[in-house]
């Protein structure tokens, strides 16, 4: 399992926290790590069994093909005890205005009912697109918090944005 060994801590006013992310070219990984540093708890990378092509045009073509399909790519590992988390941050690159399919697999494989979900994404102009709406459709029994959107090229300087977002959500440890 790609879960960090760090001891799960509590965010202020909440319970055990998990940061989950999928990243193709590293931007969302960087943002996820910054959020994890601020909120503590565990971190888990969603990794599809079949990697996406590195070539930009090829991955865009594949993502477009997958968009309106029922495709749920198999993931390399699964979180064993998602029930022990109260707040779950879910991060992803905006792909074609929504969540990449590996994130769909993650959301469908896990029972996130009763959980609080904090969506965050990196993007190149479309911000969250319809990703938060699509997450709420896949997780109708979860509470979806206001999401964070950071431009890919700005992830290196996103500390203030991350802090303001977490403060707004009252989720800073
Ligand atoms: C397949 C694909 C589709 C994308 N679609 C969008 C989009 O609809 N809107 C947008 O703003 N950015 C889009 N992007 C840009 C990515 O969201 C952005 O580069 C992101 O920071 C990549 O994150 P990563 O490095 O974690 O993979 C797309 C990128 C890829 C590869």
Using the predicted structure, report yes or no on whether residue 10 has a pLDDT greater than 60: no
Residue 64 lies in a domain: yes
Residue 10 lies in a domain: no
Specify the pLDDT at position 14. Answer: 54
Indicate whether residue 57 lines ligand 1 (CB < 6 A): no
Specify the pLDDT at position 88. Answer: 97
Q: Mapping DSSP to helix (H, G, I), strand (E, B) and coil, where does residue 81 land?
A: coil
Give residue 163's domain range: 17-169
Please give the tally of structural domains in the chain.
1
Digit-coded pLDDT (tens) for 83-92: 999 999 999 9
Residue 41 lies in a domain: yes
Which pairing describes strands 87-93 and 143-144: parallel, antiparallel, or unpaired? unpaired
**How many CA atoms does the CB half-sphere of 131 hold within 13 Å?**
31
Specify the pLDDT at position 7. Answer: 36
Indicate whether residue 37 lines ligand 1 (CB < 6 A): no
The CA 73 to ligand 1 mean position distance, Å, reads 18
Residue 11 lies in a domain: no
Residue 115 lies in a domain: yes
Using the predicted structure, report yes or no on whether residue 173 has a pLDDT greater than 80: no
Residue 38 lies in a domain: yes
The CA 97 to ligand 1 mean position distance, Å, reads 9
Specify the pLDDT at position 130. Answer: 98
Which pairing describes strands 148-151 and 116-123: parallel, antiparallel, or unpaired? parallel
Using the predicted structure, report yes or no on whether residue 134 has a pLDDT greater than 60: yes
Specify the pLDDT at position 172. Answer: 79
Please report which helix (H) or strand (E) contains residue 118, including its range.
Answer: strand 116-123
Indicate whether residue 97 lines ligand 1 (CB < 6 A): yes
Work out which ligand 1 atom sits closest to the CA atom of 151. Answer: 21
SS (H, E, C) 25-48: CCHHHHHHHHHHHHHCCEEEECCE
- For residue 62 the two structure tokens come to 């594949």
**CA dihedral (126, 153, 94, 30) positive or negative:** negative
Report the CATH number that the domain containing residue 52 is assigned in CATH: 3.40.50.360
Digit-coded pLDDT (tens) for 15-39: 799 999 999 999 999 999 999 999 9
Quote the mean pLDDT of the chain: 92
Residue 7 lies in a domain: no
- Pocket probe for ligand 1: among 123, 149, 157, 161, the residue whose CB has the most ligand atoms within 8 Å is 123
Q: What is the mean pLDDT of residues 142-170?
A: 96
**Better pLDDT: 9 or 11:** 11
The CA 123 to ligand 1 mean position distance, Å, reads 5
Using the predicted structure, report yes or no on whether residue 78 has a pLDDT greater than 60: yes
List the Cα angle 141/146/150 in 5-degree steps: 130
Indicate whether residue 140 lines ligand 1 (CB < 6 A): no
Residue 33 lies in a domain: yes
């Amino acid at each position: 399992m790609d879960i960090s060994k760090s001891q799960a801590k509590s965010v202020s006013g909440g319970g055990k926290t998990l940061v989950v992310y999928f990243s193709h070219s590293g931007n969302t990984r960087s943002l996820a790590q910054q959020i994890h540093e601020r909120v503590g708890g565990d971190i888990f990378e969603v990794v599809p069994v079949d990697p996406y092509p590195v070539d930009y045009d090829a991955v865009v073509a594949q993502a477009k093909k997958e968009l309106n399909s029922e495709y749920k790519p198999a993931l390399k590992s699964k979180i064993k005890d998602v029930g022990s988390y109260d707040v779950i941050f879910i991060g992803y690159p905006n792909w074609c205005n929504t969540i990449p399919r590996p994130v769909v697999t993650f959301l469908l494989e896990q029972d996130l009912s009763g959980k609080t979900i904090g969506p965050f994404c990196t993007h190149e102009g479309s911000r969250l697109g319809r990703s938060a709406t699509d997450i709420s459709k896949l997780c109708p029994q979860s509470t979806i918090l206001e999401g964070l959107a950071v431009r890919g090229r700005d992830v290196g300087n996103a500390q203030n944005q991350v802090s303001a977002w977490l403060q707004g959500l009252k989720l800073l440890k």
